[in-house]
Amino acid sequence: MDKTKLEEAASLIKEAKNCMAFTGAGVSVESGIPPFRGENSLWERYDPVILDLKYFQQYPEESWPVIREIFYDFYGKAQPNKAHQVLARMEQEGLLTCVVTQNIDNLHQVAGSKVVHEFHGNLHYLVCMDCGFRQSAPEVDLSVLPLLCKHCRGLVKPDFIFFGEQIPEKAYADSLTAARKADVCLVMGSTGEVMPAAMIPREAHRHGAAMIEINPELSHFTGDITHIHLRGKAGELMSLLEPLIFAE
Ligand code: APR
């Protein structure tokens, strides 16, 4: 990794009045969670249709077992990696205002980040599609599927956003507000493929933010809005950035 690029990124972050982070599945790869796209990704092994809202409502007996296998048998065990930890430390030390995340794995919060706008919701909650009853997933017995509401027998779904579902209003509004205020935006581990999430870094760019991207590959952002591309893994690069960011 080019040291000057790291130093340039670190000084932008240190001098920023309003630095935000936008994260995608790539920041959780070093925690053992596969990304959705790219090498060893979920959509190489599973059909994304299982996360299509209409399909789920029509064929819950088909979708639910795959959803459990991908998101509940697996995700519960993942721990935050250095990328999550350094972002949480940056917030604690006043160098980061918030994280806007597409991820549903709760790892930013587990790492200690307090202001996390969850653009696609969070897998740790389940919600009844009929009566709206919401409960935390670890308390629910997932052995009998499809999951029906214990109050009204309605179909229960994970409280994260399926394809074809509205983005949570507050998360969307808060993310846009953060993007419009940011003078530095860290874009980490995202292809930039999925809308409207990918509009958030673009909004920051439109409002003059310096765009620092962390990704081992190129994304839809790289040739377009990225100013500094730190090419590499999020955990590894945040470990290199940490001493530069917090140096006295
Ligand atoms: N560190 C940083 N980035 C990484 C790493 C890593 N260790 N490993 C992979 N990446 C990058 C890949 O190069 C890719 O650009 O992370 C990105 C993962 O892409 P996606 O899986 O498409 O992730 P994301 O952009 O967050 O997907 C958006 O798609 O299916 C939906 O709702 C789902 O939130 C998800 C959305």
pLDDT in tens, 200-222: 999 999 999 999 999 999 999 99
* pLDDT surpasses 70 at 75: no
Cβ of 30 closer than 6 Å to ligand 1, yes or no, is yes
Active-site annotation holds for 120:
yes
Residue identifier of the C-alpha nearest atom 9 of ligand 1: 26
The percent of residues above 90 in pLDDT, for the chain, comes to: 88
pLDDT, mean of residues 20-30? 97
Index of the ligand 1 atom closest to the CA of residue 163? 32
Cβ of 229 closer than 6 Å to ligand 1, yes or no, is no
Cβ of 2 closer than 6 Å to ligand 1, yes or no, is no
Give residue-wise pLDDT tens across range 159-191.
999 999 999 999 999 999 999 999 999 999 999
CA distance 207 to 92: 25
Length of the chain: 248
pLDDT at 248: 75
Position 76 confidence tier, pLDDT thresholds 50, 70, 90: low
pLDDT, mean of residues 30-49? 91
**Averaged pLDDT of the chain:** 95
Helices (H), the chain: 3-15, 42-45, 53-58, 60-67, 82-92, 107-111, 169-181, 199-206, 234-246
- With vertex at residue 182, the alpha carbon angle to CA 177 and CA 188, rounded to the nearest 5 degrees, is 100
Give residue-wise pLDDT tens across range 133-155.
999 998 889 999 999 999 999 99
Backbone torsion region of residue 17, taken as left when φ is above 0, otherwise alpha when ψ lies between -120 and 50, otherwise beta? alpha
Taking the centre of ligand 1 as the mean of its atom positions, its distance from the CA of residue 190, in whole angstroms, is 4
pLDDT at 225: 98
Cβ of 193 closer than 6 Å to ligand 1, yes or no, is yes
The percent of residues above 70 in pLDDT, for the chain, comes to: 99
Cβ of 194 closer than 6 Å to ligand 1, yes or no, is yes
pLDDT at 39: 84
pLDDT at 61: 95
pLDDT at 193: 95
Question: Per residue in 73-110, is it b (16+ CB within 10 Å) or e — as a string?
Answer: eebeebebbbbbbbbbbbbeeebbbbbbbbbbbbbbbe
Give residue-wise pLDDT tens across range 183-199.
999 999 999 999 999 99
Taking the centre of ligand 1 as the mean of its atom positions, its distance from the CA of residue 84, in whole angstroms, is 15
What are the angstrom distances between the C-alpha of 159 and each of 125, 165, 217, 235? 5, 11, 30, 27
Question: Are 112 and 88 a contacting pair, CB within 8 Å?
Answer: yes
End-to-end CA gap in the chain? 23
Index of the ligand 1 atom closest to the CA of residue 48? 30
| Token pair recorded at residue 206 | 């439109």
Give residue-wise pLDDT tens across range 101-126.
999 999 999 999 999 999 999 999 99
Taking the centre of ligand 1 as the mean of its atom positions, its distance from the CA of residue 192, in whole angstroms, is 8
